[in-house]
């Protein structure tokens, strides 16, 4: 174990995995609630909490600093929610008002009173995961990075909070009114979620920076949302996608000799792009196939309706011939072939020489379609003038 904790690459990867896990757990509920960008507001507003806590206590790290920064994050959420409830501002406008104000206040405090200490906005926002192995605490015979210790604690806290309040969290996200009727307190549960998110952001900022933390909170849950409709599966997938992004991001950064944190964030976007294209239910490919299938189904119904309308007419041989579909339905030859094949496969029509003849199933579909559109066809206007008989 001593050799493991002394390995810089292993500690960088372990830090990335812990951040991914700790961020994905609250991130899933924030994405589903539509409050994912609240993490961006929190990550900037904690600068105000860090600066104010240092000004009041003199601490730039430790539990007191985490508590102060988390309180600033919670204050951000409360102010945004309060402004939104006034109905004078939308949620995005309230967010754009609150967090720049608190962030600017934090930057001013740092510039005015903290010029002589190691406390700057770049550290909070960007961080540097490549150096986490240098800041350690000795436990027994092992020197364990402080980032690993703090993020392990918050990953465990977030996991415990989600498991303990699983049902209230679900109701608070999907149906807060029903949660209130059940005697639950969705506001308090969401407040705890935001407070934990703020505290986790503070624990992560020195190691990976607030920007990478926001990427881990939002992108893996959004990717998992494309892949499943079950909340439990979504949370699991989000954690796995985040950790896979950390692993592949580190390996790619070592090969390309670029920023490790930046590459980890980029890999979250790569996994999202892959899911966006190939997700079985909501991906681009599935959507295009579904739209093509819908167009074919509609075209089949149009074909069946056409055949049904002319089935007993005097020109049935001409109207219901395959070669007549191009001119009568204004379809190209390229459109006719897949529609006819779909109708044959579904047993709606059969071929009799050059003609298409409705099966019993096709006739029923045609009759149903004609009956459904008949009330929508306006009646022909009646003339007030009686026709004059010939020879009158």
b/e map 342-367, b = 16+ CB within 10 Å: bbeebebbeeeeebbebbeebbebbe
In this prediction, residue 247 carries a pLDDT of: 95
Count CB-CB contacts under 10 A for residue 5.
18
Count CB-CB contacts under 10 A for residue 391.
4
Q: What does pLDDT average to over the chain?
A: 83
In this predicted structure, the answer to whether residue 129 has a pLDDT above a threshold of 90 is: no
Closest alpha carbon to 9 in 215, 243, 246: 246
2-282 has CATH 1.10.3470.10 classification = yes
All structural domains of the chain with their residue ranges: 2-282, 286-374
- Any idea what DSSP says for residue 380? P
Q: Where are the alpha helices (DSSP H) in 165-230?
A: 166-174, 176-181, 186-205, 209-227
- Average pLDDT over every residue of 46-72: 77
Q: pLDDT for 3-30, tens place per residue?
A: 888 888 899 999 999 999 999 999 999 9
Rounded CA-CA distance 392/388 in Å is 7
Rounded CA-CA distance 74/83 in Å is 14
In this prediction, residue 210 carries a pLDDT of: 74
Rounded CA-CA distance 151/196 in Å is 12
> Candidates 1.10.10.10, 3.30.70.2860, 3.40.50.300, 1.20.1070.10; correct CATH number of 286-374?
1.10.10.10
Radius of gyration of the chain, Cα coordinates, nearest whole angstrom:
32
């Amino acid at each position: 174990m001593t050799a493991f904790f002394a390995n810089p690459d292993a500690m960088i990867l372990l830090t990335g995995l812990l951040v991914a896990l700790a961020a994905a757990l609250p991130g899933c509920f924030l994405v589903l609630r539509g409050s994912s960008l609240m993490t961006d507001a929190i990550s900037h507003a904690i600068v105000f909490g860090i600066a104010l806590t240092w000004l009041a206590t003199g601490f730039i790290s430790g539990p007191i600093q985490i508590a102060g920064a988390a309180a600033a994050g919670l204050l951000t959420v409360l102010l945004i929610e309060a402004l939104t409830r006034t109905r004078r501002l939308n949620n995005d406008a309230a967010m754009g008002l609150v967090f720049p104000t608190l962030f600017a206040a934090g930057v001013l405090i740092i510039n005015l009173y903290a010029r002589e200490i190691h406390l700057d906005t770049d550290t909070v926002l960007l961080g540097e995961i490549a150096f986490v192995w240098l800041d350690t605490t000795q436990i027994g015979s092992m020197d364990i990075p402080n980032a690993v210790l703090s993020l392990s604690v918050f990953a465990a806290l977030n996991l415990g909070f989600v498991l303990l309040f699983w049902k209230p969290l679900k109701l608070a996200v999907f149906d807060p009114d029903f949660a209130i009727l059940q005697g639950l307190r969705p506001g308090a549960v969401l407040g705890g979620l935001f407070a934990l998110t703020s505290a986790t952001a503070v624990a992560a900022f020195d190691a990976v920076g607030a920007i990478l933390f926001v990427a881990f909170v939002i992108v893996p849950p959004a990717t998992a949302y494309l892949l499943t409709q079950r909340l439990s599966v979504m949370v699991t997938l989000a954690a796995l996608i985040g950790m896979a992004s950390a692993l592949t991001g580190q390996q790619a950064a070592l090969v390309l000799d670029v920023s490790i944190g930046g590459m980890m964030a980029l890999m979250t976007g790569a996994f999202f792009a892959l899911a966006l294209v190939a997700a079985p239910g909501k991906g681009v490919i599935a959507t295009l196939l579904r739209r093509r299938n819908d167009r074919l189904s509609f075209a089949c119904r149009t074909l069946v309706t056409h055949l049904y309308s002319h089935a007993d007419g005097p020109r049935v041989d001409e109207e219901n011939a395959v070669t007549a579909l191009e001119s009568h339905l204004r379809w190209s030859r390229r459109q006719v072939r897949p529609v006819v094949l779909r109708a044959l496969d579904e047993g709606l029509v059969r071929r009799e020489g050059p003609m298409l003849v409705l099966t019993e199933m096709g006739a029923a579909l045609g009759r149903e379609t004609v009956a459904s559109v008949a009330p929508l066809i306006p009646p022909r206007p009646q003339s007030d003038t009686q026709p004059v008989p010939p020879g009158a």
